[in-house]
Structure 1
């Protein structure tokens, strides 16, 4: 019991470290974008998304390269996507007065690419099982580098469509930005994030050993929630300042980056990585359910009301309960 408490305490401290590092990294990334006169499309689709998603990207790389737990990294990405869809918009809507209005551009354009991102990642894992099968229980397969490139190509299409929407925008460089100082804080923020993510991954692995369950189950909660805290505060701040579209765009942009860039990054860096389809399908299945509920809610009346926000939080509560039941052996949807 004491070991479990210590691991949860480690996760809490690591979350705070990730939060601080993400704050430094995102603010320095904004300064660099302004200092170099980066176009709005690059700043929004790449720099802002990568900045807020850096903890998730580091989670995949640390889990894969240091501990050989690629599925833990995938679990962290899927869990973070679920957290971003259900908790972050709900918290932002509750923080804003009278709920949070959405918009057709956000719901239709961003929804299209987000749904394509979910489908493409599931297709990538399916192709791994079909064309590169491995011996073992649960339909195992190798995700190769060529397969890892498939989601990245789709992300390139996402960036290209954003570019077409803002091709005529011109952004002048801000001469008042101290680029050297900005790069220093960017590197420091990244280093702090790596330290914090290391703590999150260690706590997930330790909890998996303590309960005798796969570590990726804890990656879907401990690592995912810890790495998604920065997104939550960015979205809540945007909602309180009367910029609800920025709040939701941050959520969807971060998720698209996580699914199409962060997961393939582990494959491209490490080479061929094995996955168990029986583990992946329940994770992706709940993500698809959360996606359907989220877009159904934000589409109705183009408003995320306070009642709907509580519905999203309730669904996330069910997600956590399911993972707890899996962890203590009272549910066997995910084979161990």
Structure 2
């Protein structure tokens, strides 16, 4: 098959695509959140819906775009790889900056919920095909998850506080700005959507060409380059939170983003077009995601914090996963 782009141009498209999706997501979060506030939505509800969706928007747009172009494996790799990157890279880097204290409810409730949803998503892949019915089931799951978070916020002041702090990490001061202006924030939202759409197109097209030139499956490119690129918003927000001493926000951001990726992103991609899952995914990428999703629970439970040593091990685990993906393919 002839290559449409040279490797250098394909790499440039990936870099520009990552930048556009990052800034597009930030503009979308700011514009949509302020519009929601203008129309009477509470800051807490905005935190568990608009902001949570916005941080996963790059994965969503990239995976749906890949699915529509017939590169569904790239979309699956994006979801699986992003979840691994979120746990290993984001929590690893956060722990290196400062040991992360872990709330007991995270260990007893939030992390097990993420593990359960990871297993549910894995079940949909076992027959090597994610159907539209599977996609609809996953999307129904994200609706239930958002409703659960809303109900939990009404009962748990800590959850409400975390949602508001996550907004502040994205530069939102919604409680102070009760009546945001309509047109500027509508413009932010539109520009953000355009940036996300264009960035996702460049990211997917460049990644597909890179995969062809390198002679590796799209799943490998999706699980490494695309996954890292689309995890930039979560990485930036979590590092900023850790620097400000809000390490619990980094954990909440990671767990919430992983749930959104599996339910919303994978569900939407499958609904757009059924996805074929390769044996390579079932043998390497999916087990790796399940393994880190499960192991993070005892890591967080050891002293109820993620220490610098454990952060280093998480980073090493990610690099071992990425290298293993390429080595196994070459073997």
Does TM-score exceed 0.5, indicating one fold? yes
Higher RCO (CA 8 Å, separation ≥ 6 residues): 2
8 Å contact kept, 1:144–1:273: yes
Question: How has the CA–CA distance of structure 1 residues 265 and 38 changed in structure 2, closer, same or farther, with 3 Å as cutoff?
Answer: same
Rounded Cα–Cα distance in structure 1 between residues aligned with 2:43 and 2:295: 30
Partner of 2:105: 105
Rounded Cα–Cα distance in structure 1 between residues aligned with 2:154 and 2:93: 34
Deviation at 1:49, TM superposition (A): 1.5
TM-score by length of 1: 0.85
The equivalences for 1:34-49 within 5 A come to: 34-39=37-42, 42-49=45-52
Greater CA deviation, 253-262 or 157-166?
157-166
Partner of 1:241: 244
8 Å contact kept, 2:86–2:258: yes
8 Å contact kept, 1:113–1:158: no
The equivalences for 1:257-268 within 5 A come to: 257-268=260-271
Deviation at 1:277, TM superposition (A): 4.7
Deviation at 1:25, TM superposition (A): 1.7
Question: How has the CA–CA distance of structure 1 residues 104 and 29 changed in structure 2, closer, same or farther, with 3 Å as cutoff?
Answer: farther
Partner of 1:220: 223
Deviation at 1:285, TM superposition (A): 0.4
Deviation at 1:22, TM superposition (A): 2.0
Greater CA deviation, 216-225 or 191-200?
191-200
Question: How has the CA–CA distance of structure 1 residues 41 and 154 changed in structure 2, closer, same or farther, with 3 Å as cutoff?
Answer: farther
- Is 1:4 paired with 2:7? yes
- Is 1:56 paired with 2:84? no
Unaligned stretches of 5+ residues in structure 2: 161-173
Q: Which runs of 4+ in 1 moved over 6 A?
A: 168-173
Partner of 2:138: 151
Rounded Cα–Cα distance in structure 1 between residues aligned with 2:26 and 2:150: 27
Unaligned stretches of 5+ residues in structure 1: 130-139, 332-336
Rounded Cα–Cα distance in structure 2 between residues aligned with 1:150 and 1:208: 31
Question: How has the CA–CA distance of structure 1 residues 45 and 175 changed in structure 2, closer, same or farther, with 3 Å as cutoff?
Answer: closer
8 Å contact kept, 1:124–1:150: no
SS of equivalent to 2:276: strand
SS of equivalent to 2:277: strand
Question: How has the CA–CA distance of structure 1 residues 304 and 208 changed in structure 2, closer, same or farther, with 3 Å as cutoff?
Answer: same
The equivalences for 1:38-187 within 5 A come to: 38-39=41-42, 42-65=45-68, 67-96=69-98, 99-126=99-126, 129=127, 140-141=128-129, 143-167=130-154, 175-187=178-190
Greater CA deviation, 154-163 or 74-83?
154-163
Q: Deviations over 1:180-212 (max 9, x none)?
A: 321220121121122222222122211221122
Question: How has the CA–CA distance of structure 1 residues 200 and 297 changed in structure 2, closer, same or farther, with 3 Å as cutoff?
Answer: same
Partner of 2:203: 200
Q: Deviations over 1:231-266 (max 9, x none)?
A: 100001111112111111111111101101111112
Question: How has the CA–CA distance of structure 1 residues 40 and 117 changed in structure 2, closer, same or farther, with 3 Å as cutoff?
Answer: farther
SS of equivalent to 1:37: coil
SS of equivalent to 1:87: helix
Aligned length: 311
Greater CA deviation, 78-87 or 165-174?
165-174
Rounded Cα–Cα distance in structure 1 between residues aligned with 2:25 and 2:143: 24
Greater CA deviation, 160-169 or 18-27?
160-169
Rounded Cα–Cα distance in structure 2 between residues aligned with 1:106 and 1:294: 11
Greater CA deviation, 311-320 or 18-27?
18-27
Deviation at 1:82, TM superposition (A): 0.6
TM-score by length of 2: 0.86
